[in-house]
Amino acid sequence: MCGIVAYFGKKAAQPILLEGLKRLEYRGYDSAGVALLKDNQFEIYKTSGRIANLEEILPEVDQQTTIGIGHTRWATHGEPNTINAHPHVDYTGKIVLVHNGIIENYGTLKKWLIKEGCQFKSDTDTEVLANLIGYFYARSQNRNGDAAPKGCDRFEWAVQQALNEIYGTYGLAILCLDCPGVMIGAKKGSPLMLGIGKNEYVFASDASAIIEHTSQAIYLSDNEMVCVSNEGFTTKTITNKTVEKELKEIEISLDQIELEGFDHYMQKEIAEQPEALRTCLNGRIDVKNGRVILGGIQNMLRDLTRTKRVILTACGTAWHAGIVGEFLFEQLARIPCEVEYASEFRYRNPIVEEGTLVIAISQSGETADTLAAIEQAKERGATVLGVVNVVGSTIARTTDAGVYLRIGPEIGVASTKAFTAQVAVLTMLAIELGRRRHLSADAAQGLLKELMGIPNKIEKILDQNDAIKAIAQANMNKENWLFLGRGFNYPVALEGALKLKEISYIHAEGLPAAEMKHGPIALITDYMPAVFIATKCSQYEKIIGNIQEVRARGGRTIVIATEGDEDIKPHADHLITVPDTMEELQPLLTVVPLQMLAYHAAVLRGHDVDKPRNLAKSVTVE
């Protein structure tokens, strides 16, 4: 949530900040603003709404203004208006900052700061932090003795004092009017990286805002800060202990974050799934020997084979991938498995016994609830693996080991290629653990060979784009939909409903098809769309019965069926086919037409599919 970009260098800051904010807008788009350091004063421009609104009020570019910070907001505390937009200035006018995260004890701090004479203009928790830093900075001027900080050390000291007083999460970029040659960044629980170029630095929430300027960066860990100046940069903890950070190569390219002729990122990312899956699978599958090679966990596989129980924890789309994973682990590896919402797991007193493996799934690797669930699991002695996409992300660095998706950046808020890659990774892991426990070589070889062929089969589904668009056109004005599936396709029904809700704002409910008669069938009205995933599987006849129950009550059936299935046609008002595959691998195919259906419904209804209302891509706050 929220996007931060800050520039310190020799080039004009304003266009770099603006371009960076556009690249980060998928992280939040309620309001936006920049602060430029010019002629020993802050020039602040901010507004509610999209980056385009900010662009309209910015002045002509001043080539001599080479330092600035910017922010695009997803509102938490305070309405998404201009007053609450970032950057925020402290009560002295000397400190300005942008913030991603939540200050949990802001209420107590605000009352105390008001008593100390601080004034507030906004309703945000961020202004509390700005004023707290300003309070300590002003206080440092009055300190006596040799221990008093001097010069710009006062700025650094004030930031450290403030950060040691707050509870919550933050990614920060901070400037001080008295120290125009210094910029400070800090992180706890919210992502922040520092791109390092030639005589220039770019702070950002993720690499998309940095990659145009440099391919090298450092990733801050929790409770760390970095100070940049014309002399270079230093990294330390907020308790003033020096830390050494490794300079890493950014593993995305500029063309990966461009639309490249597509109308929307979601459309592009749906279309990228065949190639993304090929990259995810490449070098990891040994069909001949029926084995999987996952470098990030290879040296742990002997211990993982002795796993007695698996807990998969995630949020949103990743949670749906986890349900597919649950079925895979139990069927292929014969390991008891359960799936937990990370937002619930973190507040429970979960039973984590010896031999428990916890797998945390997150595209961004920064999901706040999932990170908290990881900490909960580690405290109880579990081995914790991460399945993430973003290299260097907090989850990747916090877990014991893990597997990267390797699908490139996913920018559309509604996750698509991350879901299929997450399912693919969980499939590979379940097959490998199964092979080491009881799965025959022939069975493993068959699954892996078929898995390698999935990308080609997705391409055949993508060829049905126009037909799927026509189905969306015929049903987009219906405000209530059902999505129904059985077995491995039950979580796909959940995912299809979520996609439709997220971007088209149509109310949709995903269910196991057998549960429909236990209440939800009461919702069926004439021409109400009911999407059935009715591929050839072990429960095929059962789901045909469920389709008939809906048709008998006047519902309109949209059926996802196996290519060549003639028997299903009389039961479908609208038919979409997918190539045949093994039942365990069907979710990798059946989810794709549901993504396309949701995309077209949203576009036809006139919505911005890449920036749906009230949502942001990476949920880094609770």
Residue 211 scores a pLDDT above 80: yes
Catalytic option among 2, 118, 280, 537: 2
Query: Is the per-residue pLDDT at 144 higher than 80?
Result: no
In this prediction, residues 272-295 reach a mean pLDDT of: 95
**Does the structure show a pLDDT above 90 at 68?**
yes
Locate the DSSP E strands across 486-573. 507-512, 529-533, 556-562
Residue 611 tokens read as 């920036």
Flag whether pLDDT at 543 surpasses 60. Answer: yes
User: Is the pLDDT score of 410 beyond 60?
Assistant: yes
Q: Using the Cα atoms of residue 392, residue 397, residue 398 and residue 400 in order, give the sign of their dihedral.
A: positive
pLDDT above 80 for 274: yes
pLDDT at 486 over 80: yes
What confidence score (pLDDT) does residue 114 get?
95
CB 209 within 8 A of CB 34: no
What confidence tens digit (pLDDT) does each residue in 325-349 have?
999 999 999 999 999 999 999 888 8
pLDDT per residue as tens digits for the range 112-136: 999 999 999 999 999 999 999 999 9
Q: Which of 268, 417, 457, 617 is catalytic?
A: 617
pLDDT digits (tens, 9 = 90+) for 384-400: 999 999 888 889 989 99
Known catalytic residue at 198: no
Nearest Cα residue to 215 out of 198, 199, 196: 196
Count of beta carbons in the 10 Å neighbourhood of residue 463: 8
- Cα(503)–Cα(555) distance, integer angstroms: 23
Task: Give the pLDDT confidence score for residue 348 in this predicted structure.
Answer: 85
The 10s digit of each residue's pLDDT in 71-97 is 998 777 778 889 999 999 999 999 999
pLDDT at 27: 78
Radius of gyration of the chain (CA): 26
Q: Is 2 a catalytic residue?
A: yes
Given a cut of 60, is residue 514 above it in pLDDT? yes
Model confidence band, residue 251 (pLDDT cutoffs 50, 70, 90):
confident
CA angle, 217 as apex, 213 and 220 as ends, to 5°?
Answer: 135
Q: What are 10-29's pLDDT values in tens digits?
A: 999 999 999 999 888 887 78
Average pLDDT, the chain: 92
Taking only the tens place, the pLDDT of each residue in 592-607 is 999 999 999 999 999 9
What is the C-alpha to C-alpha distance for residues 576 and 464, in angstroms, rounded to an integer?
8
What is each CA distance from 537 to 178, 255, 487, 488, 592, in whole angstroms? 69, 40, 9, 9, 18
Q: What is the reported pTM?
A: 0.87
Helix (H) or strand (E) segment spanning residue 326: helix 316-328
Give the percent of the chain with pLDDT over 70. Answer: 97
pLDDT at 621 over 70: no
The confidence band for 143, taking pLDDT boundaries of 50, 70 and 90, is low
Give Cα 312 to chain centroid, integer Å: 17
Residue 177: which pLDDT band, with cuts at 50, 70 and 90?
A: very high
Exposure string of 180-190, with b = 16+ CB inside 10 Å and e = fewer, is bebbbbbbbbb
Domains of the chain, earliest start first: 3-250 (3.60.20.10), 259-452 (3.40.50.10490), 462-610 (3.40.50.10490)
- pLDDT above 50: residue 145: no
Helix (H, G, I), strand (E, B), or coil: what is residue 405?
coil
Split at pLDDT 50, 70, 90, the class of 146 is very low
Torsion sign over Cα 281, 284, 288, 290? negative
Residue 422 C-alpha from the chain's centroid = 13
